[in-house]
Amino acid sequence: MKNVAVIEHPLVAHHLTVLRDKNTTPSEFKSTVDRMSYLLASIFYAELKGEKVSITTPLKTTNGTRIKQNLVLLPILRAGLGLTRGFIDLYPEARISHIGLYRDEESLKPIKYYFKFPKLKDKKNTKIVILDPMIATGGSVIFTIEYLLNMGYNDISVVSLLSAPEGLKAIDNRFGNTERKSFNIYTCSIDQKLNDKGYILPGLGDAGDRMFGTL
């Protein structure tokens, strides 16, 4: 798939191993996801656009750089919440949106039950990062991207811990030829495949249940 970046970093690999281990406790799982969020944020934020500004230090006037884009974090509830901490701490100016989806058992299509988004006038200068720890079938990500495109936003990226080839292919099939300013997916691993229940293999289980202790 075009525009997919697999993050290769020794600490990412280390923490991902902890997350995959079935013996990792819920508290350790959550704290590890927090650590991963800082790593992912620092890598993703490298693509933000800055503008030159003039400032005065205690000693003299000099030039500096400030982020000029509106940044909106959009975690897909509920597991996406686990990836927000690093993104918020490293750039507190980011706005935070939320989208809640569930899968209809008959159609297997995602259904929106909650959406809250900041009121922004400058859509062209807005970058949105969808936070979804697991890209399995790709249905939730596709629905969210379609929703944002229909709102008039085109600068969209996705950050995940794990991705299945089937999900990435589904996203590419849906949006591969869409004209857009930017559309990138950052993931820590492209795993083998989905099993017959739609779980990623080898995966790490249900990220939301393991994170919030609802197994």
CB proximity list for 79: less than 8 A, separation 6 or greater: 132, 133, 134, 207, 208, 211
**pLDDT tens per residue across span 148-196:** 999 999 999 999 999 999 999 999 888 876 554 457 899 999 999 999 8
The pLDDT > 70 percentage for the chain reads 95
**pLDDT tens per residue across span 11-65:** 999 999 999 999 999 999 999 999 999 999 999 999 898 899 999 999 999 999 9
* Three-class SS state of 162: strand
Give me the pLDDT at residue 11, please.
96
Q: The pTM is what? A: 0.91
Our CA dihedral for 165, 170, 172, 174, rounded to 10 degrees, sits at 180
Q: Quickly count: other Cβ atoms within 10 Å of residue 68's Cβ.
A: 12
Nearest to 133 by CA among 197, 192, 209: 209
* Domain extent listing, the chain: 4-49+68-212
Q: In CATH, what number does 4-49+68-212 get? A: 3.40.50.2020
Paired strand residues for 51 = 66
For residue 107 the two structure tokens come to: 């159609």
DSSP string, 113-154: EEEE----S-STTEEEEEE-SEESSSHHHHHHHHHHHHHT--
Provide mean pLDDT across the span 115-143: 93
For residue 123 the two structure tokens come to: 């859509």
The residue length of the chain stands at 215
Position 103 pLDDT exceeds 80: no
- Contact (CB, 8 A) for 202 and 173: no
**Rg from Cα positions in the chain:** 18
